[in-house]
Amino acid sequence: MNAIKEVRKYLQRHPGTASSRGLARLTAALAEEKALPLKDLYSLDADAFDLAIGLLQDWRLDRYYAARIKLFDGVLREAPEAAAFR
């Protein structure tokens, strides 16, 4: 997850700014699976907004792979043929 590293660097370089606070709120909302008003994204400066989009893309991809792993695990648990491969 590259985006989270870039967000962390941004927060370290721009402590206390409105955009840093916005990125921190977005990061927390994604981690806790809580809602975040879209207007919070609009208030970010251009660099922070780009980081936010990258963070959302990484988060979405991570959730996709997590769902796929759960699907495969479920299929393997339920399929009698799969037991022969364990």
64 touches 16 (CB < 8 A): no
Range with the lowest mean pLDDT among 6-20, 54-68, 71-85?
A: 71-85
33-74 pLDDT, tens digit each: 999 999 999 999 999 999 999 999 999 988 767 666 766 676
pLDDT tier at 17, thresholds 50, 70, 90: very high
33: phi then psi, degrees, rounded to nearest 5: 55, 50
What is the chain's mean pLDDT, rounded? Answer: 86
pTM score, whole prediction: 0.74
